[in-house]
Amino acid sequence: MIDSKMMLTIRNLASACKKEENQFFRNWQAGGIGNLLSKWRVHLLFGLILLPCIILGYVWQVYKGSWLDWRISMTCADSGGDALLLSANSSGGDALLLSANRNKTNPLDDLEEIELPRMIYTKPQVFQLPRSDVLTMTPWFAPIVWEGTYNLEILNEQFRQRNVTVGLTVFAIKKYVVFLRKFIETAEIYFMVGHRVNYYVFTDRPQDVPNITLKEGRQIVSLQVQNYPRWQEISMRRMEMINHFSQERFIYEVDYLVCVDVDMRFSDQVGVEILSELFGTLHPGFYAAPRNRFTYERRAVSQAYIPYDEGDFYYAGGFFGGTVPEVYKLTKKCHKAIMADKEKKLEAIWQEESHLNKYFVYHKPTKILSPEYLWDNNIGSPAFLKKKRFLAVPKNHAAIRNKRSLAVR
């Protein structure tokens, strides 16, 4: 089919040839050549010239993209240079695409079909809820993770197919370095079993990071950071440090980040069931509290301010995470808000936890972890709590935040 643009081109070419024919014929008449060639022979001559032009024009219109693609691609492939591709877009114009991947094959060509093992498990029942005593889904369709609401074997196979690496960040500043050994030793038993893990230890004392034998595919990475006189300042600076290293390092090394407190110990399985684009954890002190009891920042002058009629849950600052890009966005927003408050000589009531809660009000997490994932035995053992996966280590807060000695039990 000849499109409208091609027809216009042919008409313009025919009109130009007609003008040239008449001019040529007049010149011949004036020069006495007209006696030698009659006018119909002149028409025949110009017809023989015009017909090949029309045919060549049509062939060029139809095949020029494919021909150029083949010629340029072959030339670049032979020379080992970058592929310069010229192709026609839908509007008839040309798009010039430069491939920056020198001598690289399409990454899709490397994908392999993974053979999964035979899996035997209880069939899910449409009319049988896994848990009826707790909320398992938010109004925005984010699951709340409780024991009995998932099958870890299925999830492990899914994440193994993706070959993920998880980064676990902790801050061991000043005396808090004393918690590292218990933290990492219990993590090796319970955290992301069977998956690759990078332990990112933010510390001002890298020489005090314990030397622990780890399982295959797991490593400790010490990141030296500045110390601050006040523990509140250290707490607020966590967002800044996680944000900085997310951009400079984490984005190249891991798929997910899990950001937790170091003065804790793992006591049960914490696996890939927690992973999602963006997740937070219900605070063990407020999981059943009404909205007006939440200890949100209530001063309107603060960037962390949340009105009394807003908010879904109260999230703990000691356990959150997600993909590296989402954690980067969260920590960047929180850090900017913290710095804006600092310029006004303000400090949110619960430092970075207050800003985290403000972020989650307007950027809903895609998964929420139940208090199983952050618990303190001093609160007790309610019947709904089937597991205690991540427990606070008993400690003397005054001792750990000052210069007195401390022993970890």
Q: Tell me how far apart the alpha carbons of residues 91 and 85 are, in angstroms, rounded to a whole number.
A: 17
Instruction: List residues bridging with 199 in a β-sheet.
Output: 168, 220
Instruction: List residues bridging with 95 in a β-sheet.
Output: 87
Instruction: For residue 238, give the nearest of 261, 212, 220, 221 by alpha carbon.
Output: 261
Handedness of CA 71, 72, 73, 77 (dihedral sign): positive
Is residue 352 annotated as part of the catalytic site, yes or no?
no
Structure tokens, 389: 């996966």
Structure tokens, 347: 């400090």
Residue of 188, 352, 353, 372 with catalytic role: 353
Q: At what angle do helices 231-245 and 324-343 cross, to 10 degrees?
A: 140
* CB of 356 closer than 8 Å to CB of 306: no
CB within 8 A of 27, min separation 6: which ones? 33
Q: Tell me how far apart the alpha carbons of residues 175 and 177 are, in angstroms, rounded to a whole number.
A: 5
Q: At what angle do helices 231-245 and 351-362 cross, to 10 degrees?
A: 50
Q: Tell me how far apart the alpha carbons of residues 402 and 230 are, in angstroms, rounded to a whole number.
A: 10
Task: Spell out the long-range contacts of 38-46 with Cβ–Cβ below 8 A and sequence spacing 24 or more.
Answer: 46/17, 46/20, 46/21
Residues identified as active-site = 353
